[in-house]
Amino acid sequence: MTIEVKNIVKKFGSFAALDNVDLKVGKGELLALLGPSGSGKTTLLRIIAGLDWPDAGEVTIDGEDALGHGASERHVGFVFQHYALFRHMTVFENVAFGLRVQPRAVRKDEATIRARVKELLDLVQLDWLANRYPSQLSGGQRQRIALARALAIEPRILLLDEPFGALDAKVRKELRQWLRSLHSEIHVTSIFVTHDQEEALEVANRVVVMDKGRIEQIGTPGDVYDNPATAFVHGFIGESIVLPVEVAGGSVRLGGRPLNIAADGAASGASKLFVRRHDMQIGPAGTGSLEGAVRHVRSFGPIQRAEIALSGGEGKTVIEIDAPRDRELQAGEIISLQPRRYRIFAVQE
Amino acid sequence: MSTQTSFVTPAARLQAYASTADLAVSPPSARKASDRVRQAAASRDLRSEPGPIRFIIIALALSFLTIFVVLPLVVVFASAFSKGINAYFAALAEPEALSAIKLTLLVAAISVSLNLVFGVIAAWAIAKFDFTGKTFLITLIDLPFSVSPVISGLVFVLLFGAQGYWGTWLQANNIHILFAVPGIALATIFVTFPFVARSLIPLMQEQGTQEEEAAISLGASGLQTFFRVTLPNIKWGLLYGVLLCNARAMGEFGAVSVVSGHIRGETNTMPLLVEILYNEYQFVASFAIASLLAMLALITLVVKTVLEQRLDEGQTPEGRSE
């Protein structure tokens, strides 16, 4: 099932939660809406679900106008961050709810409902919890039941609002992999909201990066990581070193000193240089564009993370780099740094 | 007048309940934990008091309770049975007494069922929606608690009385509100309105709207959502409010006294009849009726305790930490 969102505007008072958002989701996709809190991602999800209404714009599901229908008619599975399980019902009844509230004309008989619920509980591997109450389950179990409940109505699309946000790190990781394999099994078009970049990059086929009610970039996880479209995306996804530079006629200057890198067509003016931590080439003093003193080194796994106090113009700038451990750095050592890969974005006024 | 004191207690208890629940914005788990800490601290402090002081404090509390609560209750029953059990039942079988009991039950049935509906609607609106004037509405709901019941009755006299705003029109159309059942019911509804709404608002606010949203996204209609999700979640709180509402509806004196007109065998409720009989020196009859009200109070207390336990249990489930 495809989803199309056009020119959506949503304001809360004078605050624009969504500012002209366009989005197309293809059949069978697993899409992540990624952004900091307040970026409008949850609002967008709720509008698609019919739990919120936009001030302007269009939402179509499978080419059919969705805004003319309430949430109960849209046939959309929604999974809440805090599960929202019905606390007075057993797990079984929670999952059966969507089947029991169907209009009499299309409602299945009791045996069919029981079989379907059993099937769903098997799917989420929790059939042994059927007679428990939500309060007796762990967070991870609750979220899987919430998912089974949403799937019971055979939704056209599945929407998940920070599905792992309330879980601890280990459970979160397990559930992530589980969700991805579940998606490849049932292939329902899905959108999930997250503020966790790792989660988005690891689970989704495509990632939509949002900030301040706008979409900054849409792309595959590799795309948004390797080719960030904007300064925001570069800063938000992956760890970046950010240096204030000045671009003038094809040369890049840091604190008045020219750097030995090409401007790559960046417009003249105040700009920011973005370099991934692991994209800084280390060399002996005097061989690269930047120079600095190693202040502190921590080694773990295959990398060493070093704090470098840059010398020159600014003097006080401290950056963190990740270097392979083939050449151990020492605190106090003076080294040179040369960006291998970098992006330059103009500073927006 | 012992019945009066016992009916003030539930109201005070409810207000205390509502205001503590109002503070409960923190997640239940955190609240429970802090409660436990507080309780532990309190009991440790108490145990560290020297023996004699502890004894004096407990004795003071007990004697105060005995003088102001237990003694009046005993007096009610003692006076009611002072001329023997036959006189007691004869007093209750008097046509005037029977009519008062019937009227009280009727008025309570009307006002409790209407306040049940209005209370749920008001609590729903306040807890689940944001709109301008919400704070004003919450204040308004509390108005009957802060206004003297006599004033509450007088308002209806001013509206429906012969010299009132709508008096002439009502008279012309031969509609009887004042000094009849509708007036008594109206005054009782006014006085007892806050109970249901007040006991539901904090509960519904704490529960939020997520379960309702989940139900709607699963295809449930508005009514299905209310009866299958909202109502089961608030049932203990609702019963609690209804119980206190009923106790007050049956025991209300001031407001009803103003609008009733004291027509014997017609517009006297039980509390009104107690006063009339007492003023006529029919002590046995007076206290016999009063004993019924006192029994209602005792039953209310027991049921209320059970409901409070249920409410506490109902609030824990989602609070379990991971």
Evaluate if residue B14 carries a pLDDT over 50.
Answer: no
Give the integer Cα–Cα distance in Å for A62 and A58: 13
pLDDT, residue B15, reads: 42
Do A96 and A200 lie in one domain? The reply is: yes
- Tell which A residues from 161 to 220 touch B, by Cβ distance under 8 Å: 166-168, 171
Do A177 and A210 lie in one domain? The reply is: yes
Gap from B316 CA to chain A (nearest CA, Å): 8
- Of A88, A71, A137, A272, give the one whose Cα is nearest residue B233: A88
Residues above pLDDT 70, as percent of chain B: 82
Do A147 and A215 lie in one domain? The reply is: yes
Do A7 and A133 lie in one domain? The reply is: yes
Q: For chains A and B, what is the number of CB pairs under 8 angstroms? A: 81
Do A56 and A20 lie in one domain? The reply is: yes
- Of B24, B12, B3, B25, give the one whose Cα is nearest residue B195: B12
Of B210, B221, B320, the CB nearest to A72: B221
Please report, for the domain that includes residue A295, its CATH number. Answer: 2.40.50.140
Of A50, A84, A168, the CB nearest to B214: A84
pLDDT tens for the 349 residues of chain A, in order? 899 999 999 999 889 899 999 999 999 999 999 999 889 999 999 999 999 999 999 999 998 899 989 899 999 999 998 999 999 999 999 999 999 999 999 899 999 999 999 999 998 889 999 999 999 999 889 999 999 999 999 999 999 999 988 788 888 888 888 889 889 988 899 999 999 998 999 999 999 999 999 999 999 999 999 899 999 999 898 888 888 888 887 788 887 778 888 877 777 888 888 999 888 888 888 787 888 888 888 888 888 898 888 876 555 788 888 888 888 888 888 888 888 888 888 887 5
Domain residue ranges in chain B:
2-315
- Tell which A residues from 96 to 155 touch B, by Cβ distance under 8 Å: 97-98, 101-102, 133-135, 138-139, 146, 149-150, 152-153
Q: Which CATH architecture has domain B2-315?
A: Orthogonal Bundle (1.10)
pLDDT, residue B7, reads: 38
**Assigned token pair, B162:** 């012969």
Contacts of A85 in chain B (CB under 8 A): 211, 214
Give the integer Cα–Cα distance in Å for A128 and A144: 13
Of the residues A205, A233, A261, which one is the last residue of a structural domain?
A233
Q: How far is CA A198 from CA A225, A231, A238, B33, in A?
A: 11, 19, 9, 33
Do A117 and A132 lie in one domain? The reply is: yes
Do A89 and A139 lie in one domain? The reply is: yes
| A227 inside 8 A of chain B by CB | no
Range of the domain at A202: 3-233
**The total number of structural domains that make up chain A:** 2
Contacts of B318 in chain A (CB under 8 A): 87, 134-135
Contact indicator for A332, A293 with CB cutoff of 8 Å: yes
Asked if the Cβ–Cβ distance from B215 to A149 is below 8 Å, we say: no
Q: How far is CA A28 from CA A3, A219, B319, in A?
A: 11, 16, 36
Give the integer Cα–Cα distance in Å for B310 and B313: 5
Do A229 and A332 lie in one domain? The reply is: no
Q: Which long-range contacts (CB under 8 A, 24 or more apart) does B285-288 make?
A: B285/B91, B285/B94, B285/B97, B287/B76, B287/B77, B287/B79, B287/B80, B287/B82, B288/B80, B288/B88, B288/B91, B288/B92, B288/B97
Residue with tokens 């760890």: A239
Do A142 and A17 lie in one domain? The reply is: yes
Contacts of B214 in chain A (CB under 8 A): 78, 80, 84-86, 146, 149
Of the residues A233, A259, A276, which one is the last residue of a structural domain?
A233
Contacts of B316 in chain A (CB under 8 A): 135
Of B218, B232, B320, the CB nearest to A101: B218
| B130 inside 8 A of chain A by CB | no
Do A218 and A340 lie in one domain? The reply is: no
Please report, for the domain that includes residue A50, its CATH number. Answer: 3.40.50.300
Of the residues A233, A264, A285, which one is the last residue of a structural domain?
A233
